[in-house]
Structure formats: structure tokens, C-alpha cells
Amino acid sequence: MQVLNNQELAFLAVLGHPELTSRALKLVGREHVDLFHRTFSPALNVMWQGYTEVIKKYKKEYGLRISKDLIAAGLSEKLQASNSIPGEMLDKCDTILRRLMSGAIPPLEEGMSLIKELVQLDANRKISAAVRHNPDIKALQEAVDRTKRTMSTLDTKADVNAGKALFSPFKDIEELATHSVRIPTGINWLDEVSSGGGRSGELWLILGPSGGGKTVIAVQYSCAQALMGNNTLWATYEQSLEGDISERLISYVTGHSLDDIRDKGFNNLEPEIQQQFWTATAGVADKLQALDMTKYEVDEQDPQDNRGMYSVWKHVRELKAKGIVFKSIIIDWIGAMMSQVGAATGKDLSKAFRFMTQAEIDIARAMAKEENVQIIFFHQTNKKSQNAKPTYAPDKTDSKDMSDMNNYFDIVLTLGNRDKNNIAWFNGAKSRKAQEIRKTIELKGAYSKFVLADGYIPNRDGNFYKPSAEYEPDAEDDDEVLNRRRMAASSYSREIN
Amino acid sequence: MTTGKAVEGYAKDALKYRDDLPSLMVNAVDYVSKIFEQFADIDQCFTRLVEMTYPYILYVLFAAEGHTEMAKRFRPEIEEQLKRYPSTLDNLPESFRKIGEEVKNAGLK
């Protein structure tokens, strides 16, 4: 009985072959596999595809028991030690890898065609043949058969341990494969703190004071996603789509000041701005879908419909049925959402009000996983951080005060108050970096960027500047500016903590 | 409140992690292809790209692709980056090393 097809066996052999694997990894550079995977590493692509297919099949259909059988028969070692791949194939792989890596980056199309070429290489067929006649592989097939018959005895501790032992040689590749499915954010500093972007199924939390620049980030992110061809859903619980959000989007897309756009309505804008908007969004305008939760009507027939995450998920499913599949969802913002949920359900959420209820988090987590989306939540920082001067750099405690919800988010970023120069402290309380990140960020108009602030970046001599008076806010001006920003950004106000 | 000492601590932390060059370059490949597809005006393309990725990343990318003219636009940024973080290019894959060497040989550290 042919359990695995020839291609899978070939892939298994490639994966199990230490020489080819190490050659490829050595050439590519283990830590840079991701880069080459998405640019021009066909051999690695083949390895990944084969790896994921084979492992998926093992895990789903045969369970971990197979590994026990393999180890009992000493097949795992044999597989790796066997030299069943013809030298010709090794040479071809090497040639292609070297060609791709020695010179300029070829266009993506060429890279893709090379991948196909490698898959279709005649040598691949030879590998399949070699693998098919390999006695170890035959034994593997028998082991798979046996495993299939004894599926009912799976899930024991021994099976799990055996499984880990089998898969450990591939662990690096699995991690790299997982690493590769990032959703680039389209914002340089956000890419930096997230090591290349979000992953499907992740929940992010961006905290900031009222008027502190959260919407700036949301606008920049959603526009960049649209440009990248990714569908994004923006669920707004507070700001109106027709007004503030649309104006900010137009400002960002056209590069014109928000003052040229605010309160005018699209049709009354300068023809030049209108034209720029249509040109810049041609072909991608429909990528950004908005869901105005302030106008959401609860379905009386659906007891779970509560204007919260369930309602958002419902909308996502409805659009999915129409062929619109989202990669990211923006929830702007949690406090307003919980307020709406409380109003819709008539429940007293005052205790949960400072953050999300467990039920909402559970739904969000389930939605992210099931729909393969990344969800970015925005929320306000605690009172201490809200009322602090811009010189106050938020730290872990400013999000920790929001209860232990940090545990539920994959990335937590906190903004401080902006000073009169639009510079704010930024804290990556939880990011993909080993250390907590503290930087300063400029949030102006619809743009945000890290700035090389005094006191943070070493100068050319390796010394560090002390904080500059330039960033010290003038006490009177600052309060005035801060209050104005808060009023402008938020028609909705409430006390946190 | 942030003190000078705390800031100095942040700065030391900053040395422990440097920009994640490989990931940023992966994304830059996507950004460049999408933005050049979307915008006809090349200046507008660069305005967008600089927001989406860092200028020095664009330098490495364009230099690697052999687009000398485009790389020239970002030459000052890569020079500045290498002055601030001399090891920025050290972890690049082999084929990109020549870019770092070329920049360094031009009189930078």
C-alpha cells in the first residue's frame, strides 16, 4: 500500500539528508533563511513544502505513534544516515543555490520559476525512484501501516516523547517555516519591533493616552496594508467613519495636511487632492473595509450579538461569504467597545470596564485562529500614564495595571504623551525582542516614525547624549496642547482606573 | 520620570538588539514591488517606501540589485547607519557582504 506519494517520499529524503540540508543552510545562512525563502531560495522552498506536507500528514493521519515505531526500528537514524540522493541532484541544487546567491537578486517571477524548475527536475524523479526502492523507506511504509492500525492507542506520554525525538532534527526548519508567514506591517518601526510583522492568529495591543497617536498608527497601518493588497477591517467604536477617520485616511494617502481636509467633505476638497486620492488608491481602495460599530444594529434574533467581538466576527464571516478574506482587523478601541457591549447586553461591566471581559478575549482569540487574521486592539493607558508629562517614559507597569491581560496578547506596545514637538516615548513592553524596547517616536499628522532622540541613540563616538531640553515640554503650553489633542481625538471620555 | 541615568540605561539596552536586518529586508522586497506597481511617480514611491522601511535597507536592496542610481539616493543614510551601528551589515548573507565592504572601503569605519 502506497501511504506517501513519491513526491512526499522525495521530500522526506531531502529533509532527512543531513548533507543536502546542511549545504543549503550553510549557503543560505541559517538566520537568514526567511529572507531567502521569500526572495530566491528554491531549494529551501522545496524543503519547506515537503516538510510541512509530510509532517502534517504524519500528525493528522497517523499520529505520533509512527515516531515510536520509527525509533524502535532505528529508522530515524537510518533515514538521516542514508545516502539515497544521487550526487547529480546535490550538484544541481548546489548550482542553483550558488547561482542565486552569488549575484544580484533575481526578480520574484524568476525565483518562482526556479522553484518550479527545481521541483520538476529530472533528478527529483530519480530521487523518488531511489527512495521507493530504498529498504528503509519500505520499512517506513510498513511502520506507517502499523501505526494506522493502532491509532486507538495514541496520545500516551511515550508517544509524545518519541514524537519529539523524531521531529527534533526538523525543529529549526519548522521554526523558520513558521517565521516566514509574517504579515509585514508597512510601518518601518513596527516591522522592527515585531521582527518583520504580525502572524495570522496573533492579538496585538497598542496602548496610548487619549490623543496620543493611536489612530495615527491605525491609519498608517491600514493604508499600508491596502497598498500591500491585504484586506483589513477597521471596526471603529467611537470615531465616525465619515468624519475624522476618512479625513485622516485622505490626508495620509494624498500627503496633504489634515487642516486642508478637515470638515470639508470629500466633494468639496481641492480637485487636486481628490485626483491624488483616486490615483493613489486605484485598485486598492476596496482593501480597507470599515465597520462603524457606533451605528451597528444588534440582531434581536441572535442572543449572542452584543456589539462586541462576536458582532465583529459575524461581519467578518458575512464578508468572507462574499469572497472578502481579511488578514488584519483593527479594533478601535477596547474601552469604547466594552461600553457598547455593556449597553447592548444591559450587564454591569464596570469591573471589567477597565479592560476586556474574558468572554470577549476568548472570542477574539478564537476568531483570530479560525479566520487566520491578526487582530490589533487599541486601548488607553492607565491614569498614571495618561496624566504624565511627555518626559515620562511608559514602562511595563503602564500596561500591567490593565490587569494581567498582557498574557493574552502576543505583542503589547505602549505610547506616552506627545510633547509639543509631537515626540512621545514608546515602550515595547512585550515584543519579539529579547529586551524591553524603549524608544522615542514621532507621531505627526498621519505619520509615525522612530526618531533618533537625544539620550537614546549612541553618537558616532559611542557616547550617549543626555536628554535634550528641546524635548522638555513647556509646562503651560504642554497642558494646553495636550488638552486640545485629547478633545480633538476623543468625543468620548471616561476615567480609566 | 525619565532621568538621565535611566536614559543611559535605555541606550545600553539599545546596543543589545540591533535592527532586524533580514526581516526588514524581506519586507522591503515586498514593499518595493508593490509600491512601484501602485505609483507611477518615482518620487512618490520613495516617499512611501521610506515610511514603510528604512532608507538604509533600501540602499542595501537597490545596491544588491545593481540599481546604482536608486541606491545613490540612500547612500547618506547607509553611511549614517554604519557610523551609528558599524556591525549593521555584518550579519548579512554572503552575497550582501560586498555591499558592506564597498561602503566601508569608501572611507567609512
pTM for this prediction:
0.64
Q: A20-34, A48-62, A473-487: which has the highest mean pLDDT?
A: A473-487
Q: A180-457: which CATH number, 3.10.450.50, 3.40.50.300, 3.40.50.150, 3.40.630.30?
A: 3.40.50.300
pLDDT at position A104? 37
> C-alpha grid cell for residue A480?
494646553
Chain B CB contacts of A99 below 8 Å? none
Chain B CB contacts of A102 below 8 Å? 95
Using an 8 Å Cβ cutoff, are A313 and A371 in contact?
yes
Chain B CB contacts of A458 below 8 Å? 11, 14-15, 84
Q: Could you tell me how many residues make up chain B?
A: 109
Q: A91-95, A173-177, A359-363: which has the highest mean pLDDT?
A: A359-363
Chain B CB contacts of A464 below 8 Å? 7-8, 11
pLDDT at position A316? 94
| Residue in B closest to A384 by C-alpha | B1
State which H helix or E strand residue A45 sits in. Answer: helix A42-57
Is the C-alpha dihedral spanning A32, A34, A38, A43 positive or negative?
positive
Top pLDDT among A296 and A179 is at A296
ipTM at complex level: 0.74
| Residue in B closest to A106 by C-alpha | B65
Residue A385 has pLDDT above 60, yes or no: yes
Lowest mean pLDDT among A181-195, A473-487, B62-76: A473-487
How many angstroms separate the CA of residue B75 from the nearest CA in chain A?
A: 17
pLDDT tens digits, A101-148: 443 334 445 544 544 454 444 334 444 444 445 554 455 455 545 544
* Partners of A437 in the β-ladder: A428
- Are B7 and A466 inside 8 Å of each other by CB? yes
- Are B34 and A229 inside 8 Å of each other by CB? yes
pLDDT tens digits, A408-445: 888 888 888 877 777 777 777 777 665 666 677 777 76
CA within 13 Å, CB half, A31 = 9
Mean pLDDT of chain A, nearest integer: 65
Q: pLDDT-derived band of residue A356, with 50, 70 and 90 as boundaries?
A: confident
How many angstroms separate the CA of residue B17 from the nearest CA in chain A?
A: 7
What residues does each domain of chain A span?
6-132, 180-457
Three-class HEC string of A107-156:
CHHHHHHHHHHHHCCHHHHHHHHHHHCCHHHHHHHHHHHHHHHCHHHCCC
Chain A CB contacts of B58 below 8 Å? none
Q: Is A437 helix (H, G, I), strand (E, B) or coil?
A: strand
Top pLDDT among A103 and A338 is at A338
Mean pLDDT of B29-56: 84
Q: pLDDT-derived band of residue B43, with 50, 70 and 90 as boundaries?
A: confident
How many angstroms separate the CA of residue A131 from the nearest CA in chain B?
A: 33
pLDDT at position A21? 44
pLDDT tens digits, A186-234: 988 888 888 778 878 889 999 888 777 888 889 889 989 988 888 999 9
Residue A482 has pLDDT above 70, yes or no: no
How many angstroms separate the CA of residue B51 from the nearest CA in chain A?
A: 6
pLDDT tens digits, A252-271: 888 888 888 888 888 888 89
Residue A464 has pLDDT above 50, yes or no: no
